[in-house]
Each structure stands twice: as structure tokens, then as C-alpha cells.
Structure 1
Amino acid sequence: MLPKVETRVVLVGEAARNGALVKALQDINTPYIVTDNVQELGDGENTDFETVFVLTDFDSSDYNYLYKRENRIIGPPVVLHCAAKREALHFSCRPLYSTTMLNLSLCFTGFRNKEEMKNLVNLVHHMGGTIRKDFSTKVTHLVACSTHGEKYRLAVCMGTPILTPSWIHKAWERRDDVYFHAGEEEFRTQFKVPPFQDCSLSFLGFSEDEKTNMEERTLKHGGSYLEVGDENCTHVVVEENSVKELPFSPSKKLFVVKQEWFWGSIQMDARAGESMYLYEKNDSPAMKKAVSLLSLTTPNSNRKRRRLRDTLAQLTKETEISPFPPPRKRPSAEHSLSMGSLLDISNTPETCKSSKPSKSSTPVLSKQSARWQVSKELYQTESNYVDILNTILQIFKLPLEKEGQVGGPILAQEEMKTIFGSIPDIYEVHTRIKSDLEELLTAWHEDRSVGDIILKYSKELVKAYPPFVNFFEMSKETIVRCEKQKPRFHAFLKINQAKPECGRQTLVELLIRPVQRLPSVALLLNDIKKHTSDDNPDKMRLEKAIESLKEVMTHINEDKRKTEGQKQIFDVVYEVDGCPANLLSSHRSLVYRVETIALGDQPCDRGEHVTLFLFNDCLEIARKRHKVINTFKSPLGQTRPPPPLKHIALMPLSQIRRVLDLQDTEECVNAFALVVHPPTEHENLLFSFQLAGEETIKSTWLRTLCRHIANTICRADAEDMIQCTDPDSLQVSTKDMDSTLSKASRAIKKTSKKVKAEESLFHVTCC
């Protein structure tokens, strides 16, 4: 056995005059000597002692003398640290001034100056840290001068902190603080390498507001921005939905990436890998028109009508959602799919595939009833609603709750609870409702009870909804506040709201669906009840189900409702003669009013002035009353002037299958059309209109309409409901709408019968 060598501490110069240092050596029972001449003891010839020199300056002649002779050198902070921990003096083969980086393993990347690198390595060693040449799982921190390179990419993937060289320099400045450690999160986060360091970004295809926002965030996260085409640019961020082709040929060194790369980098607080987000030129052929042009010269009107019907069916094909597979068709029939064919669905259970009922069997005919149609609509909206709830949970809530997020948690637990509330409970109960509705429609019979399904879950609805709806405003405010204050959350929302599942809707717009859902279900149940015969057992069950939903809604704080739009409903009721009483509803509000001229024979005659009142869940259609009628006094002696409008129809938005933006041509200007399918009809109807006046912008009106249709049927892709269409294919024209003579002749024609009726009534009253 080797003889035990005694440790001898030598306090050099200023260290000997440090009272705290002398006391620390006494506390750990370590003998020491004092010297001002290191040459007397630093020649390394004495082997009876393990000599440890304590120096206050690692940049002095004494340090250089001892270091060249491989003496063991430590700084005063090491002695003080060991005394505080009641430990023996740390052994280190290298000079150790402090324990500031003890147990830290560093790796470097992006350095080109060897002297700078050498200096940083020495500082790390002096503070007790270790250096690794290659990046591995043992590396605790990456010190980077660039966001390029394999080491940087590995550190991002593994969640290793990536810091600037300033971190080492600032830690060295605090080397004498015994209780300080460079690995403290609060300290090191000040020196994170920003995601866009040494990057120059350009933005293509964004609006001015979006571009300004992204440029500001680029500067905030360490980058710079240039105009598109600048040769010093490193990245071009492209809005892939609006840019179909690049206006230049990119060089090999230039990254052309989608906007998700930009927001993903901010969310991770590190530069994302470009390979996953490269923008690819869209060389695919343009989307074919859904509507083929119809010949207007054919003398066969029945053929025109048939083609028009097929055209409308084709337009609504994508919007049809059913729990059942569509029936097989001959290839020749693929292009003439109509709504009627979608209703010819076999009710044979999957367990009885050998059974093949004929298309004319009773169950199939019963499915074409209005009661089945509305029940199917209830299922469709429920299925869409469940999908949206699932999107909220899978796209937003679960990723935010995920542990080990790069850069740490995006939101605090309190904020998560405030934003999402009882969404999981609502999702769970509606998933079961959807399953029960699907089973009911699969084995449909007119006596099957829809009301029982709602009654079955009424207690769970009462429990799940009020907590969320009552605090929805707080949830919305929390989202807005966090988006402003937390860049990573803002980037997270930007990334996910651009996904197809969200239909470009914000998280707030998706979260408002539970607020709207129960009133929509009540409307549909009421519609089913209207089409249920009095001798059907489900009639009473539906009434109880509607009452149960009303009970749920009474638990919701009335102060949360929007009152301004509701007040405007009374104005509509007074303005429209014959307006249905059920238009007045606590959940309904007026959204938009549009003046139009009818272009077809539905819902009223061509040339009629029609006013459309858009509510959040329905569309009131009213025509202008003829002035000649107003010249007669009412036999009831009313002094109040008669309403200027006449009620035509109150149509639920769920009946609108497609919104058509008719292209402007010489024959048709500023027009649009609605493809409508009432539950009592087997074919689609076309309502076409021309906007009257210049105060209404067609694009704004159509987007607003589609957004509320999507809200009603619980779809996220509101913009996909608009289809730009050639008016000739639908036989729509505005050619004679501006003719004064034409207007007069139409007015005379439309009012002649009503004038005669009023005259007869007038004569009878006088007699």
C-alpha cells in the first residue's frame, strides 16, 4: 500500500489576508501555510505533502509559474464552498477557481475564432465545468455562435439549452459568489440563443398587417428582415395558401419555407429544421369546375331542368355527411348523383350482409320522410360538433398539457383550466349522443324515439355546460391576454389554426361552439316534433327533451348573452308582415341585413325586391310589398302604417347546402345563389339574387353567411362552402334587371291579382 500523503494548503498573497478563507480552512480542519513567494514551495520536489495553492488571481505571474510546473491550484470560492458543504477540498487536475459550473458538461458549435474558443474553454474549466467535443446525451448545455449545424439540431431535438458565449462570461463575473451556480434557470434563460440568430428573413404573400407583425417578431427573436429578392436573405417565408408560384428562382443557399416554420421556431424558442417545412411549387393542374357549362340553346327544357338539378346535386355532394356508406352506382351514374340517390340507403345491419332488401322496401321509403331527414340532420350536426370538440382537445389542449415541451410549458395550469374548462366532459357526453343517434338511424323506424336519446343524457348536459358557458368570456379574455404576453403561445395558435382541422378558425371561434350548440339542438328537436304524427310515441318524448334542454339553458347565466342583436329582432318583426312568432328567441340575434333582387322563380318571382335578414341560425326572407296595395285603407281601421315587407320564408341555415359566388359577366353582375334542400323536398332548390345598391360588399356578405352556416351545422371549414361558379351553368342572368320598362311590367304582373283581391274586399266592406 502507498503511504498516505498529507494535504497542505498554501495561501498565496492576498489569499492569506482573507479572514473568511482562513476561518473556512479551520472549519474543515485543514492545515495551511502562508507565503508571498511561490517559488519556495512550487518547484514540486517535496513529495511528503499534497500541496494545494490558493490564489485570488488566475491571471498573474504566480499563477503562470505554478501552472507550468503542474501544481494544484484552486481559488478562494472552492475553499468557501467546501466549508459550507462540510466537504474535503475538491480534487481537480486543472486549476479550479470556483464551483460555478460544477457538474455541467458543455459542447461548442459555430466558433471560428480559435483564441476566443480557447479562452472560453479555460473559463469553463476554472469554474468546474467539463468540455465535450462531440454532442451526446451527456452534454447539459450547448454554447452556440450559430443556429446552423448538426450539434444545434441535435440540441433542439433533445431539448438541451442552447446559450450564447455571454453566459460563460457573465458566470465568470460572478465567480466569487459561493452560492451562485451558472446552471440556474433564471440566470441562464437570459442568454438563450434566439431562434433567428444570424438569419435574414423575407415574407411573401402576407397582408401588410401580417407582414409587419412577423417582421417585428423577427427582430424580437434575434433575426433581421429584408425585402423579397435581396441576395443577403437566408430565408423566404411563404404564405402557401395565397402564393401559387414564386416570383423568382431561389438559389441553393436560400431556404424557401412555409409560415409554419416561422411560428414553429418561435414556439420552440429555437430555429426549426427547414427540411420539414420547405415550400414546394404547386405544379398540380387547376381544380376542375364542379359545374359544367350547360347549353342555353337546346330546345329541350326538360333536359335543361335535369342538367340544372344534377348540377346542384354535384355542388352539394361534398357537404353531405352520413354515417352510412353510399350505395354503389354504375360508372355512368357517377356524374349525375342527386340528393335523392343519397337517401336510397339500405338499413341492413352489417351482421346481415347476405340480406339485400330492394330499393322499394318500406324502410327505405320511410327514410325519405321529413322526420327522417331532420333526424339525419341532427346526427350530421352532432357528428360535426363532436369533430370540432375533438379538434379542440387534440390540436390545442393535449399538446399544451404535454410534458417535456421544448422550451418548457407554454401555459400555466391555471390558464389551461380557465381556457378549456369542462370541454372534456362536454366532448364525452356528446360522443355518446352521437353514437346513439347513429345506431338509431342505422336501424330506422318511424316509431324510434329521438327524444329518449336527449333525455338519457339531460343530467350530464346540466352538469357539463353551465361551468363552461358561464365562464366563456373569461376564457376568451385569457386567450387574448396570453397571446399578447406570451410569444410562444401566439406562435402555437398560429401553427394550429392554419391546420385543415381548424378550417382557419381561431381557438376562440372554435370554443364558442358549445355556447351555440344546445339552442341549435332544441331547434332541430322542435323541427322533428313538427314532422312527428300525434299518434307517434316520440311526440311526447320530444316535448320532454326540448323542456330538458330549456332547463339546461336556464342554468346558464343570462348576463352572458348578447342582447343588442336580440333587441333588433323586434324591429324585424314589426317591419315584416306575417313574420313567424318563433323568430323571437332568447338565443337568436340579428347579424346582417341585405337588400337584393330575385333572379329566379324561387323563393319568389323574378324581379321582386327581396330583403334577407341573416340571424345567427336562420335566414328570414321577405319581399317588398307593392305600393298599390298600401293605397287602400284597412277594413280594420288600423292607424299604424302597414309593414313595408311581406314574409316569404324563415329558413334554418342548416338547409343551405352551398353558397355560390356567381362570376361577373356581361349577362350577370353582382349576383350570388344559394343551393337549398328543405327536408320536405327530394331535390335541391336554387335561390338566386342580385345585390341591390353599392353599400353591401358581396365578398363580405358571403363570408359572413358561410361562417354562420358553418356554426349552425358545426363545421370548421366555413370558407370551403363558397364556390365561385359561372352563372351561365345555372341559367342565371341579370340582363333585364336595370330596365325601367321591364321593372314596371313585372310590377303590374305581380300585383294584378292582389289588387283584384283588395278591391273585392273593399267592395264587400262598403256594402
Structure 2
Amino acid sequence: MLTSKEIKRQEAIFELSQGEEDLIEDLKLAKKAYHDPMLKLSIMTEQELNQIFGTLDSLIPLHEDLLSQLRDVRKPDGSTEHVGPILVGWLPCLSSYDSYCSNQVAAKALLDHKKQDHRVQDFLQRCLESPFSRKLDLWNFLDIPRSRLVKYPLLLREILRHTPNDNPDQQHLEEAINIIQGIVAEINTKTGESECRYYKERLLYLEEGQKDSLIDNSKVLCCHGELKNNRGVKLHVFLFQEVLVITRAVTHNEQLCYQLYRQPIPMKDLLLEDLQDGEVRLGGSLRGAFSNNERIKNFFRVSFKNGSQSQTHSLQANDTFNKQQWLNCIRQAKETALCAAGQAGVPDPEGPFLDPAPGSREPRGETRLEQMDQSDSESDCSMDTSEVSLDWERMEQTDSPCGTSRHVESNV
């Protein structure tokens, strides 16, 4: 007779096994229902499909191996005694997810671009309306491996939580959790660096003077997304480690690129101001105008002055939450830049440095892998237009306030 704790343990083990089975089925479906027909019908070229699907094929045997091992140790009554040793031996192979996850930013960008082709759009729409898709689009299927990867620590902790202290599996499960956390952290780092490289390569400079070593040396893209200025012009803003870059999205050689709108702004010299609703008038005037107008909500201002050079930008976020995430990210980036320059806690000579309101805390963040694009239809602020990462965690940590950097979760 199983105890209630053991029943919970068996349920957690079954969830792990069933998840592997579902994953394998979905990966095979992505190849059979999407990749192969589009190749056969010449809807996309083989090169394009290879870019979009990446190394998805190579992931299927990995998970088939784990599922096979889990089934082999399952007893006739359906229960499983030990899974720890299997996981310790199998988890290291997930390092091969590195190339798949690092390719996702470029893969999604190409897929979004190809959707402008009516043949591609028609094919994907037909698939979406078919029962096999379960109302999931192609990107949902391509994102399943990443989603599964970041779920492993949670699944293993759940098994461990219901494993008695005297069970030999406990030590192995603890080791397995350490292994998968290390793998996820490493892949998260490489994915963040890959995303940063991708967008740096798509920046277009109108003149040589716009190029900045702070951009070239950046390995972390803290956040990016679409904002509007007070004239309603759509801008795409990138917040790198040490520099804010304001651009306009343009098409160049049939690729979506980002043309610099102004000179890059070093974070250590940037001034940030939270503007109250109604404080900005569309067209540039300030204070009091159209205070009930929805269009003039959710503004903040960034400015910069260095000798004869100066810039001021009033930027409008998508909503209140969106605005707060931008403020949090910019504050964090500035604090980090000041720490690096040895100026932490020193007020800006040009104006106040904005700290979070008393008692407020930045929301808990997710890793780069956890918060990558979850849906094409959630909002216009999904991954293809913006991201916030936890890449600050990769920066050196010390006992001083400067050494501890926090990330926020956002669809900026």
C-alpha cells in the first residue's frame, strides 16, 4: 500500500515521463506536418527551413533515449523505484540544446519575414485550422524544446520534494538538479550573447560618427522594443549594457534592420525622468494639455548632454506596466554603469538619478530562456519586438551594492 507521499512521488515521475512522450510527438509532428511539406512543395527553400528549424531533428533521439530508460525501470504495477541515476547519466546530453536555443532569435525573425509571402501564410493558416495543430502555430511547436528545457529543474524538484530522506534516490536527484541548473545557466548565457550579436549586426549607421565602441563591446542586450516619441513616431529602442540606442525599423536587402535615429547615449551619462500622465502634449508642448487623452499616458524622458552634444527624448510605452519595466531596466543599467565607473550613489550633476519609489521592488525576473517569446499573438511587445533578460546575473557579483544586479521580467 503506497503512502500519500509516495503516491505524490509517483505522480511526479509519471509527469516527467509523460512530458517526454508528448515532446517527442510534437517534435516529430513539427517535422512531418510543417518542415517536410514546405520543402516538398517548394514553399520555402531548404536553406530557409534549415535556418528556421535549426537542429530540431537532433533533439528527438535524445528524448527518446530518456523515455526508453524511464520505461525500462517501470514496474509492472506502473510504479518506478529510482530515477536519479538515470537522470544524472542523461542530463549532460542536453548541452546540445546550446545551438538550437542560440538559433531561435534568427529563426523567428526569418519565419516572421517569410510570413509576408502569401504561400507561406496560406500554408501556415491551413495548418493552424487543422485538428493536428491544437490551435498552435508553427513557432509554438519550435519553441517547445526551449520550454521543456527550462521546466526540468521544476520537475526534478517536485520529485525530490516527495522523496523520503532515507531514499537512495535523494542524493542522485540533488545532483541531477545541480547538473540541469548549470546547463540551463550556460545555455541562457550563450543565448543572450547570440541575441545581442544578432541585433548588433542589424544596426544601420547613417554616418561613421554614430558607431560606438560601447555597442561593439556589448555582449548583453538588456531589453529592446518599440516606443513612440511625442510626435507619434515609432522608434525601436535597444538598451545594451552600457549604451542606449534609439533606432527606426527599416527594411534593408529584404531584412528587417534598425537605422540609428540619434547618437547612442552612454548609460553613465543618461538622465532619466518619469513623466506623469498629462505632462506631455503630443507635438512637443509640456504640461496640462489633453490630460484625459489616452495618447499622452505612459511617457518617460531620457536625456543626455556632453559638451556641445545634447539629446532629449520623450518616449511613450505601450501601457503602465510596460513603462515601469523600461524604467526599472534603465535604472538598473545606469546603476551598473556607474558602478563600473566607480560613481555608484553619486548624483548626476545635470539632474537627479531616479530610484524606485520607496518600498517598491522590481518584479522577479526570469531567465532569458524562460521569458523568450511565448506567443506571436500575446501583444505587440512579444519577443520579436522586445525582450528583457536576466543577463545581469552573468555580471560579476560582489558584496557591495554594485555587485548585486537584479533583472526584471518584462515584455518591454
TM-score range, shorter chain: 0.3 to 0.5
Larger relative contact order (Cα-Cα within 8 Å, sequence gap ≥ 6): 2
Instruction: Provide TM-score, normalisation by structure 2.
Output: 0.45
The structure whose Rg is larger is 1
